[in-house]
Amino acid sequence: MNFEVSELTQQVTQTARDFALQHIKPHVMEWDETQEFPVEVFKKLGELGLMGVLVPEEYGGAGLSYYEYIEIIQEISKVCGSIGLSVAAHNSLCTSHIMLFGNEEQKRKYLPALASGEYLGAWGLTEPNTGSDAGNMRTTATLEGNAWVLNGTKNWITHGISGNVAVVIARTGEPRKSGNCTAFIVEKGTAGFLGGKKENKLGMRASETAEMIFDNCRISDAQRIGEVGDGFRQALKVLDGGRISIAALSLGIAKGAFEAALQYSKERHQFDKPISSFQGISFKLADMATEIAAAELLTQQACDLKMRGEHMTKEAAMAKYYASEVAVKVATEAVQIFGGYGYTKDFPVEKFYRDSKLCTIGEGTSEIQKLVIARELLK
């Protein structure tokens, strides 16, 4: 691994930081309280190329690497985890799935609109009764002539209502049989494709999480991604990259909480001294900084392997598992350092605290990450 940060990465990082401070920070609590999903922000992000970070320039994207991508997610998430989550889901799930497995016609049709922010992407794998048990999904796709008919419900979908285009994994074979799922692209407005219930969440409240409902939704075979039965294999590859995204999201939240706590500890005085001078507080800060640094190294390792095209399932799972747990721990300690003020909405750490928990659940719980890591170790 090369730890030298390129000039390009520094410039992109600064662009994301400036955008977050100017366009996101003033509205963070307003969006959180009202659960407003600020679509206009994603249009502006698209104008900067941040909605197609990894998309090659020939398809209208920024053509940047995972190194720049994880920095962008971190900088946005240091200000607002909700916006960071939505940017991550758009880039690493929907857009990346089409980029990795779509045919040339599909790439040219959808990637430019996704990269520019004209289209918002969603990705549908999870169902009400099949979270990690995706092989038993109940959403089905049945071939009738040259068309596929989709029926079923997906839930916990980022942009499930507002997404303009969704990549959906549906069962095309028998439950629990190998190769029983296929991926499809479904556009908003297609008959029988509806947004369902929007979730009222603990945290990440400005990021839309909702159901996607398919009721005899008929789409052309041209909307199929790859071969019939290849959907689950594709999804696993997409999730490897998605785990790096969630690790970066976790790092951003952890860094935001840490920086707020560090600054407060210098300003808050007790017994005529800043509380940072007390060992009980300074040792908390030392632990927080060390664990963030360790999580960042794991994330960079996974990123490095991804960029070199090497197998990184274990490393991505490690990064996601550790960084997400660190985010929760750091946010909890930040609230503790703020004391009573940390329990109020007048200071940012209570939101970091609420937002952080999603990182240990989304795109595979910490327990599932341990399962993935163990399987890779025991191969």
Catalytic site positions: 363
Interatomic CA distance for residues 245 and 317, integer angstroms = 11
Q: One-letter amino acid identity for 304?
A: D
Interatomic CA distance for residues 167 and 101, integer angstroms = 11
Taking CB atoms within 8 Å and a gap of at least 24, the contacts of 277-285 are: 281/337, 284/333, 284/336, 284/337, 285/258, 285/261, 285/337
Say which DSSP state 176 is in: T
In a 10 Å sphere around its CB, with 0-12 CB exposed, 13-18 middle and 19+ buried, how is residue 173 labelled?
middle
Contact criterion met (CB below 8 Å) for 335 and 343: yes
List phi, psi (to 5°) of 179: 65, 40
Interatomic CA distance for residues 305 and 284, integer angstroms = 32
Contact criterion met (CB below 8 Å) for 210 and 200: no
Smallest CA-to-CA distance from 123 within 151, 150, 88, 147 is with: 88
CA dihedral 184, 189, 190, 196 (to 10 degrees): 70
Interatomic CA distance for residues 90 and 208, integer angstroms = 12
Interatomic CA distance for residues 313 and 241, integer angstroms = 9
